[in-house]
Structure 1
Amino acid sequence: AELFKQRAQLQINHVPYKGGNAHTMDLMGGRLDMIMDTLTSASPLLKSGKVRALAVASASRLPELQDVPTFAEAGYPGFEVNAWYALYAPAKTGKDVLARLNASLTQVLKLPEVQEKFALLGVRTRAGSPQELASFTTDEWSRYGKVIQSAGIRID
């Protein structure tokens, strides 16, 4: 939300939540005007009509929400955010162990039943090398570090 606020040059109050679905309950209860959420969390509410998607923060429209524009299409170019998960190991883990873990994860992510389950959750998978993950992680830390610093965000 803070990244959107900065990119769109909007004056909105960011209300941080510690997790769970309290933000969704506050949206439905009229205590919030909008929230940023993942497709996985929002899908049941979108399908039931309890909330309405205004834009998706991906580079292209999502197959599950073909009628919902991207932020760029909605007039906010340059705003793209994707929730992501990664598998990490302790720093001193041997390269052979990392290679086996990576190969196993890649194999599992290719299984049709795994892809189907993730697709039902609105999750896209992408396996990569440990080096790609390290580079991606560094880029994400840099990207969000700038947002955090410019907004003066602190852990309370």
Structure 2
Amino acid sequence: MQRRSVTHALASLALSSLATLGTLCSPLAQAEETWPSKSIRFVVPYPPGGPTDLMARLLQGEMQTRLGVSVIVDNKSGAGGNLGSAEVAKQAPADGYTLLLAASGPMAVNPTLYRNMPFNPLTDLAPVIQLSAFPLVLEVNPKTGIKSVKELIAALKSKRAAELAFASAGNGTPQHLAGELFNTQIDTKMPHIPYRGAGPALNDLLGGQVNVMFDILGSSLPYIQSGKLTALAVTTAKRVPTLPDVPTMAEAGLPGYEMTGWHGVAVRAGTPPAVIDKLNSTLNAIFSQPEFRKKWEAIGTPVVAGSATQFGELIKKDSVRLGKLVKDSGATVD
């Protein structure tokens, strides 16, 4: 009898403990199950009007339709994308109601570029999905007479090197790092002139104040097609459909060269996995629509999508690869 009483008491205690645990866990489980139940803020760490902002606004309507709640695009620019990114990483609740349009700058470059980095992308943020892989194009002002990468390298080795400095959108930008990667693969050096943004750099390239630039293809394509700029090579592993006659950097004589500017979606670390999974599946479903894919490709990037794990691996890999380029270039920002 005593044994039965003890067994019964232990069983009752176990059931009571499970019930208590269930009560404690139920709010979290319920939150995951009902997400989303209120509006979502989509933080873009750059000003309105640029390609990063455009991506968020293209996704905004589709996400609202599929998730059944409002999605509010919130531009929080400053410090090379760090300001808005840090707000999501350090201040937003880890509940999936604040999303970050995560760019390669703050996610993989800035930790090496900035002396005082306000967050750690690898530990403070959780990847959801990769959105873009923007090709860059190596281009020159036609007045240089240069028509190939081989001719550019030969000119850099001659007395013309001083007139062939490359313009960029600023230290640590894809335009800058594409040039630094180029420098690692040639036995000479192309000087760098950082501008405060891609627009001013492109304007000076068109005007002949500078003669070389690696630029995001979507921005320069109209000038290449009109003959105002000469495209020497694209920075992707494969040729791009909009410039089928322009070789890749590898085809032009620099094997293994590849550089893209990428973006994705991230949330604060600690966000429930079920919420991340639902966000990922929703965005993958959006990108599976042929009409949406056409709109997306029209802004200059192929559709990437994929899993949260794949995006996380890209962030880790490029944190090392791009961080080394920044360090070797000597560029820093306070």
Partner of 2:294: 116
Offset of residue 33 of structure 1: 1.6
**What value does the CA root-mean-square deviation take over the aligned residues?**
1.4
TM-score (norm 2): 0.45
- In structure 1, give the amino acid aligned to 2:191: N
Bigger drift between 11-20 and 22-31 goes to: 11-20
Partner of 1:73: 251
Question: CA–CA distance in 1 between the matches of 2:198 and 2:235?
Answer: 21
Question: CA–CA distance in 2 between the matches of 1:42 and 1:114?
Answer: 23
Partner of 2:193: 15
Cα deviation, 1:41-94, whole Å, max 9, x if unaligned, reads 111212222111110111111111111011111111121111211111111211
Partner of 1:37: 215
- In structure 2, give the amino acid aligned to 1:43: L
Question: CA–CA distance in 2 between the matches of 1:20 and 1:66?
Answer: 24
Bigger drift between 81-90 and 14-23 goes to: 14-23
Question: CA–CA distance in 2 between the matches of 1:48 and 1:16?
Answer: 26
- Asked whether the 8 Å contact 1:64–1:122 carries over to 2, the reply is no
- Asked whether the 8 Å contact 1:7–1:78 carries over to 2, the reply is no
Aligned residues: 156
- In structure 1, give the amino acid aligned to 2:206: M
- In structure 1, give the amino acid aligned to 2:312: A
Equivalent in 68, 76, 84 of residue 262 of structure 2 = 84
- Asked whether the 8 Å contact 1:109–1:127 carries over to 2, the reply is yes
Question: CA–CA distance in 1 between the matches of 2:212 and 2:270?
Answer: 43
Partner of 1:46: 224
Bigger drift between 48-57 and 17-26 goes to: 17-26
Partner of 2:204: 26
Offset of residue 125 of structure 1: 1.1
Question: CA–CA distance in 1 between the matches of 2:271 and 2:197?
Answer: 31
Identity of aligned residues (%): 36
Offset of residue 12 of structure 1: 1.2
TM-score (norm 1): 0.93
- The alpha-carbon distance between structure 1 residues 146 and 20, as it changes in their structure 2 partners (threshold 3 A), is closer
Q: Does 1:126 align with 2:304?
A: yes
- Gap runs ≥5 in structure 2: 1-178
- Asked whether the 8 Å contact 1:56–1:69 carries over to 2, the reply is yes
Question: CA–CA distance in 2 between the matches of 1:50 and 1:118?
Answer: 26
- The alpha-carbon distance between structure 1 residues 93 and 9, as it changes in their structure 2 partners (threshold 3 A), is farther
- In structure 2, give the amino acid aligned to 1:121: I
- Asked whether the 8 Å contact 1:55–1:70 carries over to 2, the reply is yes
- Asked whether the 8 Å contact 1:71–1:80 carries over to 2, the reply is yes
Offset of residue 150 of structure 1: 1.5
Partner of 2:63: none
Q: Secondary structure at the match of 2:322?
A: helix
Query: Which aligned runs of 4 or more in structure 1 are off by greater than 4 angstroms?
Result: none
- In structure 2, give the amino acid aligned to 1:116: K
- Gap runs ≥5 in structure 1: none
Question: CA–CA distance in 2 between the matches of 1:77 and 1:118?
Answer: 29
Cα deviation, 1:81-138, whole Å, max 9, x if unaligned, reads 1121111111121111101110111011111121111222331011121111111100
Greater Cα radius of gyration, structure 1 or 2: 2
Question: CA–CA distance in 1 between the matches of 2:321 and 2:291?
Answer: 34
Which structure exhibits the higher relative contact order, with contacts defined as CA atoms closer than 8 Å and separated by 6 or more residues? 2
Question: CA–CA distance in 2 between the matches of 1:125 and 1:18?
Answer: 29
Offset of residue 8 of structure 1: 2.2
